[in-house]
Amino acid sequence: MGADQALSLLSRMLWTAALMSAPVLISILVVGVLISVLQVATQIQEMTLTYVPKLVITALLLIFLGSWMMGKLSQFAIELFTAIPALAN
């Protein structure tokens, strides 16, 4: 396997990981900003107020998007395993 093939596989792996994690990370970011604005506006400084909504949103997104994420991961793994014989040369 050449360096260009290894870099190509690494690039595809990183893009797949970024694509799979982006919906969860973006939603957590949006919820965190909204809760922070709410806390500043009401001057409520309760620590659990930031964690519970983020946890709920993360759980809901993983329930609804989990099959899509596993499908993308399985598709990448299948492509990688089928490419192993060509990489050995």
**How far from the centroid of its chain's Cα atoms is residue 48's Cα?**
24
Q: Per residue in 49-59, pLDDT tens? A: 889 999 999 99
As given in the structure block, the two tokens for residue 68 are: 């899509």
pTM of the model: 0.79
> Domain limits of the chain?
3-87
What is the per-residue pLDDT for 73? 94
pLDDT of residue 89: 66
Question: What's the rounded mean pLDDT across residues 29-42?
Answer: 92
Alpha carbon distance 65, 27 (integer Å): 12
Helical pair 3-42 and 48-87, crossing angle rounded to 10 deg: 170
> How far is CA 24 from each of CA 52, 72, 75, rounded to the nearest angstrom?
15, 15, 20
The closest of 88, 13, 15, 26 to 61, measured between CA atoms, is: 26
